[in-house]
Amino acid sequence: LLVSSCSSESTTTSTTKTTAVTSTTSTSTATTTTAVTPKKGGILRVNTSGVTGSLGWPANFTGADVGKAQPALESLLRQNWDGSLYPWLATSYDINYDEPSVTFHLQQGVKFTDGTDFNAEAVKFNYDSVITKKKQAFWKSVSVVDTYTVKIVLTTWSNIAMISFADTGTACVASVKAYQDNGEDWTNTHVVGTGAFKLVSYEKDSKIVWTKNDNYWKPGLPYLDGIELLITSDYQTNKNMLQAGETDSFSAELGKQADELSKLGLDLDVIVQHQATYSLIPDTKNADSPYANKLVREAVEYAINKEAIASGLGYGFWEAPYQIPPKDNSAYNPNYSGTVRKYNPDKARELLKLAGYPNGFKTDLVPGMAKNLDTATAIKSYLDAVGIETTLNNMDTAAYMQYRSGDGWHNALLIEPLAAFGNYNSTWNYYFSPTGTQFRSWTRSEAFLKVFNASILSHDLDISLMRAVNDEIMEECSLIPVHEGGASQPTYKYVKGAGFLQRGFPIYWNAESAWLDK
């Protein structure tokens, strides 16, 4: 299979997907195309969290480090929010499904900002480091075919394997010379890449300053003179800076924070991405668990007033879901015709009686993290009302992770925000892979495994197969979606072309095409 670049560079069209709020408040997500002429110059200021591992060596990235390094570092591919991939530092690629392997044909004439060449040897050096450190499960070996062709043999084929070359930290390629000349420790605070910007300074827990790369390989880019990443994750600090005009953009929670920001009277776009569905994960594996009975699981879903939770706790930004993929994701089916269990407490009591629990039963509800506590309290009130006597088991993160990734749990419901990846197969695989370590008390039925494997192993990303996984889950009520959540990016309207929350994962944006209309 040969895949080549089908995206074209444009300096006259800006396509954005935004939720505009403030004086023209809107909570609907829309895609608009507006003819514009980007302006050159200016400094974009974005508030962000700090570096936890490395700023400049992809094999050492932890957490969201790549989000801070992306003005300088680039990958072979990029991913859109709909899951589709497009070449970036690669021009095209060939997939051998039988071996399995991927052969990339690279951009020629690209240089790192230290003047060295980007080529197959550079890719191999970076990716060998990733493999040695066991940071990428899909990669087995890397070989140079010629100066601008590199082959990666995969450990196994899956259509999510291709994402490992796109919007993931380990996919980035840094300067080999800078690494060899200065050592690995140096890369914790320095970075040399092929990107549109060069590092000026890095002040830990303060700010990261970038200046434009005048020799960037994409003609006419970047538009900005520079970028300042201001390191603060405190919401009140970010809000104050936004009001004072000291920053142009930051990430806020979707819900109360987004609502508060929409009422400041500032000339903002609040860009929205429903990137998670907060769901109940029941113990279906233990035979003596009430949740092993489908009727009980259905009773739980009927008992919960999702619309009330979404409106009361989400401030108009949450959605009441009846599918697992959130509405912004391509796996979401707008024409879904499966079972929909809307709030009906009488139906819940009837199902409990049919299941052999006329007087209800006792259970634990585990919030998972502190910000789930309000949702958990609401769920508890609804379950208590139909006879399911619920105890909130609010444990610390380490104890919860033992539940989630350890030995499992018994007769309990876990509340988990199921993160939505652009390719939703990554979500299915991350949380519910039969070979994974997550949610061991959740049964992977034969019917689930059939649709799961069909979707994951298909050669191409097939939306109908991803949706079939959801259909199986919803029909069996094996997961219970409660509300959609996500992130918002309050951004002054003069910021254009940045692509916040439009890539395959929320921390990625398009620094090279951002510009300021002022």
Specify the pLDDT at position 398.
84
Task: Provide φ and ψ at 400, rounded to 5°.
Answer: -65, -40
Residues 516 and 86: their CA atoms lie apart, in Å, by: 26
219 with 332, same domain: the answer is no
pLDDT digits (tens, 9 = 90+) for 321-330: 999 999 989 9
Residue 77 in domain: yes
Residues 284 and 273: their CA atoms lie apart, in Å, by: 31
Amino acid at 253: E
Amino acid at 504: G
Q: Which of 330, 53, 50 shows the shortest CA–CA distance to 170?
A: 53
Residue 262 in domain: no
Residues 271 and 17: their CA atoms lie apart, in Å, by: 7
Residue ranges in the chain modelled with pLDDT below 50? 1-33
* Boundaries of domain holding 466: 274-486
Specify the pLDDT at position 25.
27
481 with 499, same domain: the answer is no
482 with 507, same domain: the answer is no
User: CB within 8 A of 425, min separation 6: which ones?
Assistant: 158, 159, 160, 455, 456, 461, 466
pTM value?
Answer: 0.88
Residue 465 in domain: yes
Secondary structure (DSSP) of 311-323: HHHHTTS-B--SS
Residues 138 and 157: their CA atoms lie apart, in Å, by: 8
Residues 72 and 306: their CA atoms lie apart, in Å, by: 43
Specify the pLDDT at position 34.
56
Task: Provide φ and ψ at 67, rounded to 5°.
Answer: -60, -30
Which tokens belong to 393?
Answer: 């088991």
H helices of 119-255, in order, are 120-132, 176-182, 235-243
Residue 479 in domain: yes
Residue 501 in domain: yes
Q: Is 128 exposed, middle or buried (0-12, 13-18, 19+ CB in 10 A)?
A: middle
- Beta pairing partners, 104: 93, 150
User: CB within 8 A of 412, min separation 6: which ones?
Assistant: 282, 283, 363, 364, 365, 366, 393, 403
511 with 403, same domain: the answer is no
Specify the pLDDT at position 382.
98
- Provide the CATH number for the domain around residue 322: 3.10.105.10
The number of folded domains in the chain is 2
Task: Give all strands of the β-sheet with 197-203 in edge-to-edge order.
Answer: 43-48, 226-231, 207-212, 197-203
Specify the pLDDT at position 27.
31
Q: Which of 300, 281, 243, 228 shows the shortest CA–CA distance to 405?
A: 281
Residue 510 in domain: yes
Q: Is 291 exposed, middle or buried (0-12, 13-18, 19+ CB in 10 A)?
A: buried
456 with 507, same domain: the answer is no
